[in-house]
Amino acid sequence: MSPEQVLHDQLAALQSFLAVGAVLFGVGLIGFLSRRNMIVMFLSAEMMLQGVSLSLVAWGRYRHDLGGQMLVIFIIAVAACEAAIALALVLMLFERKGNLDIAKWQELRESNQPPFEEEWQPPEDKEEPPQWPHLPPAGVLPESVSQKEFYRRKV
Amino acid sequence: MSASQAILPLGTALAAVGIWWLLPGSGMRRRTLGGVLAVIGFGFLGALVPAVSNWFTSGVFHAVAGATIVAAVATISFRNPVYCAIWFGMTLTGTAGLFLLAGAEFLAVATLVVYAGAILVTFLFVLMLAAPEGHAYYDRHSWEAMISAFTGAVLVGILTMMIGSAMLKAEAVQASGPAPTLAEPSVPAAAQPAPYTISRLGAELFTRYLVAVEVAGTLLFAALVGAAVIVTQGRAAMKASAVTREGDAVHVS
């Protein structure tokens, strides 16, 4: 392969890895902004870390430098710390409010912000009596088989 | 060039609309349509990625990257958080595959072992501990799904555009003149050192980055103590506040 071809391949590989990293980061961002479950928000944050790690590894490969991989090793270590702390916090927040909804903690917002109002109310559980279908009698009337004859009373 | 310039915004916008409709809070038909749109949008983005000359490498990369992105979108769009966690495990597996393709074998294994093996299992453990039965109402609704989807899409679009233009610039510089700083690895392959071996990684980690390793170890220790303190102290505070509330009630009555 010619040097130009090698360079083009390396650049193409770098570009594709960076694109995947960017997409992972973006998807994680969307999840973090839009989901309301604290644990799913945290999963999205971890996904953003994955995107960054991918970019770092790609750059390290392109420049033939181990620094990128080193940084990712430390990212994994820090992510483990973060997971331990955050899961302990989430567990405590859950025990305080009884669910994982981040909107339950809206009193922590800025004092000049309007409160979040839930537009959607959980539906009330209405126990409606089941409506059984009425089948019209059809077909040939079976010959009358008396239950007394059919089943033995005693063994 | 103009075609690819048009494809990039189109693909990002389609993917954004798809993710918006896939997020919890929309009906079944919109979700299906959103899935189709997201696949088309990400397909456009994937078509923009330049192919390397080895078709096998290219194919494997596209397959693994596609699986990773599909799993990532599924992670944020499923309503049941347990499914979200399992799809996140799939994303991690895909990322480990991409690490492997990039020549980072140690990181691939570490991602699987540490992330998918330990962190994800802890997530599932907390979910099982905390999740109420069935689908909770807050899992069925998103905050401002449209705005956040388009925010993410704009970010991805800008990043991708930057990557593309940087690559074009590097190629132009390479064609016109001497090796630029971006094109450092254009030294002949024989002259380069063996790119990545795990022994080289380990040697570097415990010589050049030794202080960082110690700091990371201290950080892990602090996090362990912190997690224990948060849980025990928080429980104690809750118990104390419950006792005072009971006392107030008795006093009032």
B216 touches chain A (CB under 8 A): yes
The mean predicted confidence, pLDDT, of chain A is 84
* Whole-angstrom distance, CA of residue B125 vs CA of residue B164: 42
B92 touches chain A (CB under 8 A): yes
Distance from CA of B6 to the nearest CA of A (A): 17
What is the predicted pLDDT for the residue at A123?
Answer: 60
* Whole-angstrom distance, CA of residue B156 vs CA of residue B150: 10
Residue pLDDT, tens place only, B190-211:
445 555 678 888 888 999 999 9
Residue B148: which of A7, A30, A99 has the nearest Cβ? A30
Quick one: tokens of B214? 């110690």
Residue pLDDT, tens place only, A107-154:
888 888 888 877 766 566 666 777 888 888 787 777 766 655 555 666
Contact B151 A92 (CB under 8 A): no
- Residue B110: which pLDDT band, with cuts at 50, 70 and 90? very high
Show which of residues 28-87 on chain B sit within 8 Å of chain A, judged by CB atoms.
Answer: 42, 45, 48-54, 61, 65, 68-69, 72-73, 75-76, 81, 84-85
The torsion angles phi and psi of A101, rounded to 5 degrees, stand at: -70, 125
What is the predicted pLDDT for the residue at B252?
Answer: 44
* Whole-angstrom distance, CA of residue B10 vs CA of residue B7: 5
The torsion angles phi and psi of A37, rounded to 5 degrees, stand at: -75, 130
Chain B residues inside the 8 Å CB shell of A74: 212, 216
Q: Rounded to 5, what percent of chain A is helix, strand, coil?
A: 65, 0, 35
Quick one: tokens of B248? 């107030």
The CATH code of the domain at A3-108 is 1.10.287.3510
Contact A22 B160 (CB under 8 A): yes
The mean predicted confidence, pLDDT, of chain B is 83
Which among A19, A48, A51 is positioned nearest to A31, based on CA atoms? A48
Q: Which residue of A has its CA nearest to B103?
A: A61
Task: Give domain limits for chain B.
Answer: 2-192, 209-253
Question: Which residue did the predictor score with more confidence, B167 or B249?
Answer: B167
Task: Give domain limits for chain A.
Answer: 3-108
Residue pLDDT, tens place only, B208-245:
999 999 999 999 999 999 999 998 988 888 888 877 76
Which among B253, B176, B76, B71 is positioned nearest to A4, based on CA atoms? B176
Which residue pairs from B199-205 have beta carbons closer than 8 angstroms and sit at least 24 positions apart in sequence? Answer: B200/A66, B201/A66, B201/A69, B201/A70, B201/B106, B204/A66, B204/A70, B205/A70, B205/A73
User: Best residue in B106, B123, B233 to probe A by mutation, most A CBs within 10 Å?
Assistant: B123
Chain B residues inside the 8 Å CB shell of A7: 171, 174, 183, 185-186
* Whole-angstrom distance, CA of residue B196 vs CA of residue B112: 19
If you write DSSP's letter for every residue of B57-91 in order, what string do you get? HHHHHHHHHHHHHHHHHHHHH-SSHHHHHHHHHHH
What is the predicted pLDDT for the residue at B234?
Answer: 85
| Claim: this prediction has a pTM higher than 0.90 | no
Question: Which residue did the predictor score with more confidence, B133 or B94?
Answer: B94
- Give the H or E element holding residue B94: helix B81-101
Contact B76 A40 (CB under 8 A): yes
Which among B134, B66, B34, B148 is positioned nearest to A31, based on CA atoms? B148
DSSP state of B26: B
Query: Residue A69: left (phi > 0), alpha (psi -120 to 50), or beta?
Result: alpha
User: Best residue in B119, B133, B220 to probe A by mutation, most A CBs within 10 Å?
Assistant: B119
Which residues make Cβ contacts (< 8 Å) with residue B162, sequence separation at least 6? none
Which among A80, A93, A86 is positioned nearest to B221, based on CA atoms? A80
Q: CB–CB of B105/B60 below 8 Å?
A: no
Chain A residues inside the 8 Å CB shell of B170: 11
* Whole-angstrom distance, CA of residue A54 vs CA of residue B104: 10
* Whole-angstrom distance, CA of residue B44 vs CA of residue B91: 21
Distance from CA of B58 to the nearest CA of A (A): 9
pLDDT of B70 above 60: yes
Quick one: tokens of B41? 């949008």
Separation of CA B136 from chain center: 25
Distance from CA of B51 to the nearest CA of A (A): 7
Q: Classify domain B2-192 at the CATH topology level.
A: Four Helix Bundle (Hemerythrin (Met), subunit A) (1.20.120)
Residue pLDDT, tens place only, B43-66:
988 888 877 778 888 889 999 999
Distance from CA of A148 to the nearest CA of B (A): 48
Distance from CA of A127 to the nearest CA of B (A): 18
Distance from CA of A89 to the nearest CA of B (A): 7
Q: Which residues of A43-65 are buried (b: 16+ CB within 10 A; e: fewer)?
A: bbbbbbbbbbbbbbbbbbbbbee
Q: Which residue of B has its CA nearest to A29?
A: B152
